[in-house]
Amino acid sequence: METLVSSWFKDQSLPENYVFPPETRPGEAIVPVSKNIPIIDLGKSVVGHDHRNNTVQQILNAAQKFGFFQVNNHGVSERQNDYSKDPRKGCSLYTSSYNYDNEEIHFWRDNLRHPSHPLDEVIHRDVVGTYSVEVRSLSLRILDLICEGLGLQPGYFGDEFTNVQLLLVNHYPPCPNPSLTLGLSKHSDPNLITILLQGEVNGLQVFKDGQWIGVEPLPSAFVDNIGYQFQVISNGKLRSAEHRAVTNSRNARTTIVTFINPSFSRIIEPAKALVNECKPPLYRAFRYGEFLNTYKAVKGDTEAALKPYKLD
Ligand SMILES: O=C(O)CCC(=O)C(=O)O
Ligand SMILES: [Fe+2]
């Protein structure tokens, strides 16, 4: 395994193979934190029909407009999580990305990847197990609220749409030259929906209308974003927004990511209820595993990822 950035960054200037080309590096431009990405109080969705409808509308609007929103009063308990490496259990600790060997330029981050559902594969069962169960139920709750807004039946995303759940920890050490490199380059997430604990250090940015906007770090809130699969299933109604992680020279940043994924063999296609003569399907059916191969091959080219599946 390549050495983690965390173990060598201190006495170094930025190595050549972390310098992004001018068109993709963050540069010196200041990206303001946006107050427009909605922060939704999920507690309100349980106190009566009107509040619930209102929450559904807020989430749906955010998922359509930004592909991103934050939720608080989400029911996930606050706790300090402690993760470690266990090669026997499919838990992996690596630097940059799983594709290190094929990268021309590396990301300024270390990463821990951890299977978190089904639970019999889990280590640290008490801490990671509880966290995973709680975040899973939050994800399914958000999915149900979105289903309600889209006109899909509750539970639409049961079974094979959601049964692979991954937990990743990103660690971005302080960086000697944040303007030249990235923690993660521009991408959309390949999965159905992502639930991210951003912590208190700024760094997540969303690409909206040709501009980068910062996502406000709110330690007690979860950031939620729509993945490619949800864009397809919603027949283009929801957007899988492009985003990236920038670094900074002062503070290390650690984020905890939960990816909710379909199983590899699950057929993904626009939901029948969202397709009719006026709204023909925008995408052909494919298996999730097939998409993942395309996603890996196009190396973060967000246009190219869905291209083979688009119908004219
Ligand atoms: O660490 C972050 O802020 C973003 C992480 C992310 O986008 C990802 O892991 O896909
Ligand atoms: Fe992402």
Beta-carbon contacts of 11 under 8 Å, excluding residues fewer than 6 positions away, are: none
Dump pLDDT digits (tens) for 236-269: 999 999 999 999 999 989 899 999 999 999 999 9
Give me the chain's average pLDDT, please.
Answer: 89
What ipTM does the predicted assembly reach?
Answer: 0.99
* Ligand 1 interacting residues, C-beta cut-off 6 A: 168, 170, 184, 189, 198, 203-204, 243, 245, 255, 257
Q: How far is the CA of 257 from the centre of ligand 1 (A)?
A: 7
Q: What average pLDDT does this structure show over 286-303?
A: 92
Instruction: Write the CATH number of the domain with boundaries 28-309.
Output: 2.60.120.330
In degrees, rounded to 5, the angle at the alpha carbon of residue 111 between the alpha carbons of residues 86 and 201 is 130
pLDDT at 76 over 90: no
Give dist(CA 204, CA 243) in Å, integer. Answer: 7
Distance from the Cα of residue 159 to its chain's centroid: 20
93 is written with which tokens?
Answer: 């600790």
Query: Buried (b) or exposed (e) across 173-205, using 16+ Cβ within 10 A?
Result: bebbebebbbbbbebbbbbbbbbbbbbebbbbb
The residue ranges of every structural domain in the chain are 28-309
Q: Could you identify the atom of ligand 1 that is nearest to the CA of residue 111?
A: 9
